Amino acid sequence: MAVKITGYETHDIRFPTSLTGDGTDAMNTDCDYSAAYVKLFTSTDLTGYGLTFTIGRGNDIVCMAIKELANRLLGKEVEELFANMGMTWDYLSADSQLRWIGPEKGVIHIALGAVGNALWDMYARARGKPLWKLVVDMTPEELVNATAFRYITDAITREEALEMLKAKAATKAEREARVKELGYPAYVTSAGWLGYSDEKVARLTKEAVEAGFNHFKMKVGADRDSDLRRGKIMRSIIDDPQYLPSGHKARDPNSPELVGKNAGPTGSVLMIDANQVWDVPQAIDYVKSLAEIKPWFIEEPTAPDDILGHAAIRKALKPYGIGVATGEHAHNRMVFKQLLQAEAIDVCQIDSCRLGGVSEVLSVLLMAAKFGVPVCPHAGGVGLCEYVIHLSLIDYIAISGTMERNVLEFVDHLHEHFLYPCSINKNGRYNVPSNPVEGYSIEMHQTSIAEFEWPHGSYWVNARAKA
């Protein structure tokens, strides 16, 4: 008997990270890391899990949008959906009345990310593979059929994508073995939140160096003098060989994976992130004034939809050796298409659930590979690290074929709430997810849901009682 989708549940889950300053930046000063979480049920015990990340209020609105989209899957046979995930993505995004309140942006689109990811999670579980393995084991034709191509064929056609994938197919097994052995390169943001004291920044930076990381990101944009001071604190630690882990040698700043990144004498790299706080002229002036801390790139220097603004900033900062990165708030593949076409970015930062799920992510990975721009996904939020390691593995093994200059964000928050949390090895690299039942690694513990669901979870009930 065919397996059909029979129902769903949504959960509004919020964690009180604003109490400790986790996640704070120049734009977002009051972050409660939150998940609009969905479970898709079938006529068997096969279940799919997905979420979209928010920072608190409004999470309930996303859950309402998830319900509207999940309704479109009720009664559908799962194998028919799995057979062509690109077509399934088109179907999920095609309800004309729901589409009107996007289209393909805002609440309705990040809700699509949760539902689409839950369906991909179900697909991987049905095949007994982690999500990344499901995708890299696809033939080039299957992977193209799983990708969302509408509105981007002026940048990459299905035929071009197929040729790119075929060119990499014969060597996929070599790259898979290599990344399993080494792990995937990571960078750390946890030391650089704006809400932390100088002492905490220094302590966390030392701990990150000791853990094997050599790429570090710092939030900027609230106060220039403070940014310079904090940047110099971080530089004084990451550039000093005395803090390197025992047995670790300094990396060569001129090696192929580090050249052009403003790496210091130990091979360590500093990045800065403004979270959209500036107008274009402000961004140029401000970042020039931070040139002495030698950042590799400035992330989100201005409004995330301003393609030409990013291009102007990139052109102005190029003489200073500082690049431009963005993408965490780029709400669809068309924004990425234009950023790439306009030569507006040096680093492409996809978000696993602001984009509408894996099928749309694949389209951006393919475009970035064609344009030769490295993909360094955004992962600052609950569940995003669990998600994005799968996406970076897909990019390296099946699409771009390179991870030498790529680094994947790692934030050490809230992993304990997931059944299959991501992990980092002693060299500051992500371990490859290997459990055949974990799917997209986003299933949460029921105890965490019971404690942190808004507004009736035990944590929030107790917090109101104490108020």
Active-site residue, 288 included: no
Helix axes 106-127, 358-371, angle to 10 degrees: 100
β-strand 5-14 against 34-42: which pairing, if any?
A: antiparallel
Residue 266, both tokens = 């130990």
What pTM, to 2 d.p., does this model score? 0.96
| Catalytic pick among 378, 390, 413, 417 | 378
Confidence band for 22, pLDDT divided at 50, 70 and 90: low
pLDDT above 90: residue 86: yes
pLDDT-wise least confident of 18-32, 145-159, 262-276, 299-313: 18-32
| 173-430 CATH choice from 3.30.70.890, 2.30.29.30, 3.20.20.120, 3.40.50.12780 | 3.20.20.120
pLDDT of residue 74: 98
Q: Tokens 């990045």, residue?
A: 271
d(CA 246, CA 467): 47
- Check residue 155 and report its DSSP letter: T
> What percent of the chain clears pLDDT 90, i.e. is strictly above it?
92
d(CA 177, CA 171): 10
| Catalytic pick among 39, 109, 219, 337 | 219
Q: Which residue type does 36 have?
A: A
Query: The domain at 4-158 falls in which architecture?
Result: 2-Layer Sandwich (3.30)
Whether the Cβ atoms of residue 59 and residue 454 lie closer than 8 Å to each other: yes
Which residues are bridge partners to 375 per DSSP?
348
> In 3D, which of 146, 208, 139 has the Cα closest to residue 170?
139
Active-site residue, 219 included: yes
d(CA 130, CA 133): 5
pLDDT digits (tens, 9 = 90+) for 178-217: 999 999 999 998 888 888 899 999 999 999 999 999 999 9
Task: For the chain, give every domain's residue range.
Answer: 4-158, 173-430
